[in-house]
Amino acid sequence: MSGYDYVIVGGGSAGCVLAARLSEDPAASVCLLEAGGANKELLVRMPAGVGNLIKSKNKHNWGFWTEPEPHMDGRRLWWPRGKGLGGSSSINGMIYTRGHPQDYDEWRQMGLDGWAWEDVLPYFRRLEGHHRGECDGLHGAAGPLSISAGESDSPFHDALIEAGRQAGYPVTPDFNGASQEGFGRYDLTISDGRRWSTAAAYLRPVLARRNLTVITDARTTRVVVEHGRTVAVEYRRGTALERVEVAGEAILSAGAVQSPHLLQLSGIGDPDRLRAAGINTVHALPGVGENLQDHLDVIMNWSTRGLVTAFSATRGLGQLKTGLNYLLRGQGLGRQQFLESGAFVRSREGLSRPDVQIHGVLAVMRDHGKQRVGQDGFSLHLCQLRPESRGRIMAASADPFADPLIYANYLAAPEDRRVMRECVKIGRDVAAQAALDPYRADELFPGASVRTDEEIDAWVRAAAETIYHPVGTCRMGAEGDQRAVVDGALRVRGIQGLRVADASVMPTLVGSNTNAPTIMIAEKTADLIRGVKATPALAA
């Protein structure tokens, strides 16, 4: 049979890793299909460009919207997702957090052998080129993903950490170290002032390999399955419909929105839902698109005094100066993303691990940066880490170019509403501490008029947004789990030669930003495919 040994659909956070790792074997032929472009532009390379990448639909951002959310005043919420090589690692906030060890131990308790913390830690270590070095066996120093400390000299970040201590929370030197809980500084996927996406870290260094073919601007339309086996992947490039043959395996790494969508477009999913979308069923798999989870986030804003924030630094000609200084010298504020401090805390006693994450931003952020606020200030992002609500992704029609329907179903569970209410109270408590007195002025958003639980709940419904961490829509499950889409080796149930490897396979949402766990999943998948098990020697 002619064709590639491995056809990878989606050159994002996972796909770039898989293309690099699988093509390490010179005898294996690898083809990577990516719907977007190369993502080499200054706006992508420069960390300070993140705000412009996220806030609008553009060549780097698919720019999805949810369907009207029934528990959030019927609002449609903006869902940025990365497009082009590097995927969402090319437009994200560059925060590197791995999640709590219990997150992965729970996966093992669900029957997923090989996915406990002790199993995944070697892969985190293998991917890391960490500024701390190996650090008690918890980090890796020689991996392709450069992980650095922030460069900001603003007093805001230290003041926020001290305010957290004054509010009664611990301080941690490393969110990915011995203890996640507390206030501290984030690790960043930035290398010498440049965004270090998986395209930069994994793919671009190996593009010259003869056994690796990368096709950009190639919009996959379906996976072709015949007699229960994957035989080809079809894609459109320009006006031409083209086809790449699969001799071994096809691997969907298109993300939590588009991997289930592509399965559905290929006739793999719930027969009733496929029929409603005008798609013929090729293989009945009812869990496809279900189990959607995401971190819902509120952004609280305060005006400030005595601080140089993103507004004053870039107002007028400041933005042009920042861009030119970065372009010509690689220096200045362009090297920063204004988000270097934060916390993992608990919303109530009795929890085994933090359930709230805080990101401190040296800017007034509102609605993903879509609303420009003309003053200096700082913001606290506060999100719930382990929501109980579940949504779904569904093909709107058989048209592969129609955006899928996104039903996030935020705040359906009472516990989710409680935690989001506590997020607001935690944010206010921290911001009120003496350490921030020299810098804090007035609360801008939600403002002093929002005080009672009922008022806070109403504001959360009206103002909360995604913090860009959807997972779970092709979830893995143990043998006998009828709602699982893939098994523990990430093979699609009932289809030969087809896997999914990206954030969509997570059975539950990890308590952190999701980019690092997605890269880990891809590293582990490469070994699952090659029949290799990570060892301490491999991990270093």
- For the chain, domains (ranges, CATH) are 1-46+85-144+196-293+391-410+469-540 (3.50.50.60), 151-185+296-384+412-463 (3.30.410.40)
Extract the tokens encoding 173: 């030197």
469 is catalytic: yes
Q: Model confidence at 328, in pLDDT bands (50, 70, 90)?
A: confident
Q: Model confidence at 532, in pLDDT bands (50, 70, 90)?
A: confident
* Full strand arrangement of the beta sheet holding 145-149: 95-96, 187-188, 145-149, 128-130
SS3 category, 225: strand
C-alpha to C-alpha distance for 389 and 47, rounded to whole angstroms: 33
pLDDT tens, position by position, 472-505? 999 999 999 999 999 999 999 999 999 999 999 9
pLDDT for 61 equals 98
Has this prediction a pTM greater than 0.85? yes
pLDDT for 315 equals 75
Whether the per-residue pLDDT at 537 is higher than 70: the answer is: no
User: What mean pLDDT comes out for the span 103-128?
Assistant: 98
Q: Model confidence at 535, in pLDDT bands (50, 70, 90)?
A: low
pLDDT for 314 equals 75
User: What mean pLDDT comes out for the span 411-439?
Assistant: 98
Whether the per-residue pLDDT at 538 is higher than 60: the answer is: no
C-alpha to C-alpha distance for 7 and 493, rounded to whole angstroms: 18
Beta strands at 182-185 and 341-345: parallel, antiparallel or unpaired: antiparallel
Whether the per-residue pLDDT at 29 is higher than 50: the answer is: yes
Do 427 and 183 meet the contact criterion of CB atoms below 8 Å apart?
Answer: no
As a whole-number percent, the residues of the chain with pLDDT over 90 amount to: 89
Q: Model confidence at 11, in pLDDT bands (50, 70, 90)?
A: very high
pLDDT for 94 equals 98
Do 213 and 235 meet the contact criterion of CB atoms below 8 Å apart?
Answer: no
C-alpha to C-alpha distance for 432 and 374, rounded to whole angstroms: 23
Do 82 and 199 meet the contact criterion of CB atoms below 8 Å apart?
Answer: no
Of the listed ranges 93-102, 187-196, 309-318, the least confidently predicted one is 309-318
Residue with the bigger pLDDT between 373 and 174: it is: 174
Contacts 24+ apart (CB under 8 A), 528-533: 528/489, 528/490, 529/6, 529/22, 529/249, 529/251, 529/499, 530/22, 530/25
User: What mean pLDDT comes out for the span 199-205?
Assistant: 98
Q: Model confidence at 372, in pLDDT bands (50, 70, 90)?
A: confident
User: What mean pLDDT comes out for the span 331-344?
Assistant: 92
User: What mean pLDDT comes out for the span 2-19?
Assistant: 97
As a whole-number percent, the residues of the chain with pLDDT over 70 amount to: 99
C-alpha to C-alpha distance for 492 and 283, rounded to whole angstroms: 11
User: What mean pLDDT comes out for the span 107-113?
Assistant: 97
Q: Helix 515-530 crosses helix 15-22 at what angle (to 10 degrees)?
A: 30
pLDDT tens, position by position, 49-73? 998 999 999 999 999 999 999 999 9
Whether the per-residue pLDDT at 137 is higher than 60: the answer is: yes
Averaged pLDDT of the chain: 95
Of the listed ranges 210-224, 240-254, 281-295, 303-317, the least confidently predicted one is 303-317
- Closest listed residue to residue 441, CA positions, set 275, 305, 253: 305
Whether the per-residue pLDDT at 192 is higher than 50: the answer is: yes
Task: Pick the catalytic residue from 60, 295, 381, 469.
Answer: 469
Q: Model confidence at 540, in pLDDT bands (50, 70, 90)?
A: very low
Whether the per-residue pLDDT at 418 is higher than 70: the answer is: yes
pLDDT for 539 equals 46
